[in-house]
Structures are given as C-alpha cells and as structure tokens.
C-alpha cells in the first residue's frame, strides 16, 4: 500500500512485522498529520490478525526527523506496547540518528534487514524459551 501525497509512505508485511517505508522528506511540525496517518495505518495493520506484530519504521529516505515527529512516533509506540508489540527504527542519516538517540523507547538499527533479523531472532529465542 502506498499513500501520503507530499509525504509518501509504503506499508508492507514482512514475516512478523509491518514495515513502514517513508519517502524522502522532512518530518517536522508541518508534516505531523501525514506522519500520524502513516503510523496509525501501520498500527492498524499490525493488529489486524488478532494479535499485534511489531512495526519497523524505515527512515532511510528521511532527511530530517524532528523532536515533534518523535513524539508522534512515541504515541504509536505506546499504543502498540499495550498490545505486546513495539516500533523499531531502521536507517536514516545523521540528523535522524541524532534525534533517535533521545528516544530510549525505540531501538534503532542501521538498516531494514538488520532490524527484521533482530526481531526474528528475538521471536525465535522467545519460542525456544517457552518449550
């Protein structure tokens, strides 16, 4: 699914996660409505099949991610957290990483593949621990 107008995003399912890929843009106070809509749809997708799955926010195309955008990410994370899931971030340049370092609630991985691999490893470890 692709949407977003001036602030494009794509949603897709991966094994055990919903991935939100944001297009090249700046996410700050002027784009919070679009960012919130994308995250809201990702949370809905993550909870569609009876349980919650994690959401990976791929920020590799994002140039700027402000502290106000981070608050929007936190709101979505808190909603998922009440259902036993979470948001993790992947990619992003120096400015994005600089903002995410102030977000102890979200783990940040260098790229989408590493984020998905880490989530899979955690799921696998959890299953092994229950048997």
pLDDT at residue 128, as a whole number: 40
pLDDT in tens, 83-126: 889 999 999 888 888 889 888 999 999 999 999 999 999 888 88
Buried b vs exposed e over 75-91: b needs ≥16 C-beta within 10 Å? Answer: ebbebbeeeebbbbbbb
Pick the CATH number of 2-106 from 3.30.465.10, 3.30.750.24, 3.30.420.40, 3.40.50.300: 3.30.750.24
pLDDT in tens, 9-68: 889 998 889 999 887 666 755 667 888 888 999 999 998 866 778 999 999 988 888 888
User: Residue 36, Cβ neighbours under 10 Å: how many?
Assistant: 15
Cα of 82 vs its chain's centroid, Å: 16
The model's pTM: 0.84
Asked whether 53 and 85 are in contact (CB, 8 A), the reply is yes
pLDDT at residue 48, as a whole number: 86
**Cα(105)–Cα(76) distance, rounded to whole angstroms?**
11
All structural domains of the chain with their residue ranges: 2-106
């Amino acid at each position: 699914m692709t949407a977003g107008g001036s602030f494009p995003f794509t949603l897709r399912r991966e094994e055990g996660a919903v991935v939100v890929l944001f297009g090249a843009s700046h996410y700050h106070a002027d784009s919070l409505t679009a960012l919130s809509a994308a995250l809201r749809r990702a949370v809905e997708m993550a909870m569609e099949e009876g349980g919650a799955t994690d959401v990976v926010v791929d920020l590799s195309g994002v140039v700027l991610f402000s502290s106000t955008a981070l608050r929007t990410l936190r709101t979505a994370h808190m909603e998922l957290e009440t259902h036993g899931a979470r948001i993790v971030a992947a990619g992003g340049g120096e400015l994005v990483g600089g903002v995410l370092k102030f977000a102890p609630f979200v783990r940040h991985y260098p790229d989408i593949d590493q984020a998905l691999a880490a989530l899979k490893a955690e799921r696998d470890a959890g299953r092994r621990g229950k048997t």
